[in-house]
Amino acid sequence: MAADHDTQRPASMSQSEYDKYTKIGDFDFPYCDEVSKYERLTKIGQGTFGEVFKARHRKTRLLVALKKVLMENEKEGFPITALREIRILQLLNHENVVKLIEICRTKASTHNKFKSTFFLVFEFCEHDLAGLLSNANVKFSLGEIKKVLQQLINGLYFIHTNKILHRDMKAANILITKAGQLKLADFGLARAISQKNSQPNRYTNRVVTLWYRPPELLLGERNYGPPVDMWGAGCIMAEMWTRSPIMQGSADQHQLTLISQLCGSITPDVWPDVEKLELYNKLELTKGQKRKVKDRLKAYVKDPYALDLLDKLLTLDPSKRANADDALNHDFFWMDPMPADLGKMLSMHTQSMFEYLTPPRRRVAQVPHPSHLQHRPQPMATQEAQFHDRVF
Ligand SMILES: Nc1ncnc2c1ncn2[C@@H]1O[C@H](COP(=O)(O)OP(=O)(O)OP(=O)(O)O)[C@@H](O)[C@H]1O
Ligand SMILES: [Mg+2]
């Protein structure tokens, strides 16, 4: 293939420097289109691993989300974390999992020192759940809440059946289209569940955003599984009513304290074998706390079936926690009002809602006082009043 003048070694560059830069850039990537076929519209996300843009295919007008692959600290070429995310997304094809359309790249040229930037191209979803919950004008009926949670757990059922752990459940990673279709997104921390049974797994436990991190991870468990995502689903379920994360710890120790204040003390009585976890004796565990999940959440959640499912998801012992199948079969989803389509309610909102686009001070994590559980945030007099505080 003849190289055009843009990919030839500039006179100012030595051959060895040129060879170094062209490690990735020297390919023509015939099966990886140039990202310029999409017109960038707005920035919609800034994650730990890169920026996300709304964009439109110049010819077909199809809307997409472009997630930039961060290459800055990479010495070994294409980042392994992005490769993992791509492999997992390619495996998962389901209506409740975000669809990866393709990978695109910028053209290697002298301008970018022959280093292409890569983008994951996703189908575009109009909202994320954190954005929707932050906006007080978005009001979900009980049937609509059921629809959100049923789709969320249906997505988890699918990925868990396919032996994938998400490991980063949180409202900002749940996308919802304007038609009301929910999609699990952000598989940046996901991994395949190891199949070998002879030895316990030794996965890293530095996963899951702190506020959604289950007690087994906080106590150092490395042989964990799908229940880690179910805990996150329980936190998100409660958030559908409280409108902000229910346990906003400032550090691992504080997170465990908040968990004990809500779910009761962590003891071998309620969780046999918990003593075997590495950090059980190293961290300070609050003693004498009664379990108050239903009691404290009933101020927000009036439906008794919802409270019961919450109680089963926010179970301390992961082996007793409801799995996705248990949750889908729970009466909550099968009693009136039945899960109801979200399309009509969402059609009243013409603006996209993303966590990134909510007013900055609403995005700042604050340390909550347990007494906040009893009180709704005070209404604000300012024009921002339509935004819920993301503090519970
Ligand atoms: N397909 C999509 N459609 C619409 N918005 C999207 C899409 N994918 C991602 N976003 C938005 O971009 C944000 C960041 O994307 P994502 O969570 O995949 O990236 P990340 O860098 O891993 O984020 P973080 O590290 O903060 O979890 C999401 O919270 C969501 O608001
Ligand atoms: Mg994310």
Please give the Cα distance from 237 to 360 (Å, whole number). 24
Order of all β-strands in the sheet with 174-176 = 127-128, 174-176, 182-184
Q: How far apart are the CA of 42 and the centre of ligand 2, in A? A: 17
* 33 is a catalytic site residue: no
Going by C-alpha positions, the residue among 312, 318, 233 that lies closest to residue 274 is 318
> Per-residue pLDDT for 358 more than 50?
yes
Q: Do 22-123 and 127-387 have matching folds? A: no
Q: Which two tokens stand for residue 290?
A: 């009664």
The pick from 52, 53, 70, 120 for probing ligand 1's pocket by mutation, whose C-beta has the most ligand atoms within 8 angstroms, reads 52
Domain ranges within the chain, ordered by starting residue: 22-123, 127-387
CA of 351 to the centre of ligand 1 (A): 17
Residue 138 and residue 349 in contact, taking contact as beta carbons nearer than 8 Å: yes
Among candidate residues 128, 168, 229, 389, the one labeled active-site is 168
Q: Ligand 1, residues 67, 71, 118, 207: which to mutate, most atoms within 8 A of Cβ? A: 67
Q: How far apart are the first and last CA of the chain?
A: 60
122 lines ligand 1 (CB under 6 A): yes
Atom of ligand 1 nearest to the CA of 49: 21
Mean pLDDT of the chain: 88
172 lines ligand 1 (CB under 6 A): yes
CA count, 13 A, side-chain hemisphere, 130: 23
Instruction: Tell whether the model's pLDDT for residue 170 goes beyond 50.
Output: yes
Q: What is the mean pLDDT of the segment spanning 76-86?
A: 88
- What is the residue-wise DSSP string for 38-82? EEEEEEEEEETTEEEEEEEETTT--EEEEEEPP-TT-SSSS-HHH
Using DSSP's 3-state secondary structure scheme, residue 366 falls into coil
The Cα–Cα gap between 314 and 228 comes to 10
What Å distances lie between residue 127 and 10, 172, 174, 180, 183, CA to CA? 45, 9, 9, 10, 10
Ligand 1: does its nearest atom lie under 6 Å from the Cβ of 386? no
C-alpha 48 to ligand 1 mean position (Å): 10
Task: Quickly name the fold that domain 22-123 has.
Answer: Phosphorylase Kinase; domain 1 (3.30.200)
Report the percentage of the chain scoring pLDDT > 90. Answer: 73
| Ligand 1 site, residue 124, Cβ cutoff 6 A | yes
| Cβ neighbours for 343, distance < 8 A, ≥ 6 positions apart | 178, 179, 180
**What is the per-residue pLDDT across 284-308, written as a single tens digit (0 to 9) for each?**
999 999 999 999 999 999 999 999 9
Q: Please name the fold of domain 127-387.
A: Transferase(Phosphotransferase); domain 1 (1.10.510)
